[in-house]
Amino acid sequence: MKNLLVASTSTIYGGNFLEYLLPQLKAHFKDIETLLFIPYARPGGISYESYTNVVAEALKEFSFSVKGIHQFDDPKKAIEGAEAIFVGGGNTFVLIDQLHRQELVVPLRKVLENGIPYLGTSAGSNIVGLNVKTTNDMPIVHPESLDALGLIPFDINPHYLDPDPDSKHKGETRETRIKEFHSCNDITVIGLREGSWIAVKGEQMILKGTLNARIFKKGKSPFELPANSDLRQLL
């Protein structure tokens, strides 16, 4: 049974890394001894070790330890033997490129389908959907595939921003970009605003947090879905 926490971001405005999610994580990662962290997205190009240290510091009050996948000789075996997994944000293209290069997509999908607790933030949430085509990131590397884990039947747009009516910026809005995506794809996209997350338990998928999500379907007007909605209604 899938047990996923799919969050828009690791840090909300005015808060510390993972701070707003800590109450949920206490239950989500209950009774584990080690959390496997996958730092491949490398925000700002930082090292795997530095990124892992950021996570360990944020979770230092928890009873488990944090170990980066780069610390293992065999990443595949690290995933297969993990008690729980966290994939952090950064650049989604860099993340999915590494997962494909190291042939980790299939083993990661398998253990998550079998129910070990998973936390994804930003890029780590992008990879839970069908593909990563709705990321906001720059394609600074060229992955062999944009296919993702397919653990939920949608695509995610983390950090979703509404157009600012007072802005003088004339470039494309987030909504415009998603409409471009729908000119070539027929996949529902969930615009997750900062501080929102999706709690997946088995086949149940509940929008959590205090904000609405913006829902985009090909050929239809976008609409709002309130917090605590079951996303299965979108199927």
Q: Tell me, yes or no, whether 85 lies in a domain.
A: yes
Q: Tell me, yes or no, whether 171 lies in a domain.
A: no
Residue (of 142, 211, 222) closest to 177 by Cα position:
222
Active-site hit among 70, 100, 147, 159 = 159
Q: What is the mean pLDDT of the chain?
A: 96
Domain at 38, CATH number: 3.40.50.880
Q: Are 207 and 196 in contact (CB under 8 A)?
A: yes
Residues in the chain: 235
Q: What is the pLDDT of residue 102?
A: 97
Mean pLDDT of 33-62: 98
Residue 73 catalytic? no
Q: Tell me, yes or no, whether 182 lies in a domain.
A: no
Q: What is the pLDDT of residue 95?
A: 98
pLDDT digits (tens, 9 = 90+) for 200-212: 999 999 999 999 9
Active-site hit among 8, 10, 125, 137 = 137
pLDDT digits (tens, 9 = 90+) for 74-100: 999 999 999 999 999 999 999 999 999
- The DSSP line for 48-65 is HHHHHHHHHHHTTTSSSE
Q: How many domains does the chain have?
A: 1
Q: Tell me, yes or no, whether 183 lies in a domain.
A: no
Q: Tell me, yes or no, whether 91 lies in a domain.
A: yes
Report pTM: 0.96
- Position 169 pLDDT exceeds 90: no
Residue 137 catalytic? yes
Residue 155 catalytic? no
Active-site hit among 8, 10, 122, 125 = 122
Residue (of 106, 139, 121, 134) closest to 38 by Cα position:
121
Q: Tell me, yes or no, whether 165 lies in a domain.
A: no
Q: Tell me, yes or no, whether 177 lies in a domain.
A: no
Note down the domain range covering 31. Answer: 3-159+188-214+224-234
Q: Tell me, yes or no, whether 219 lies in a domain.
A: no
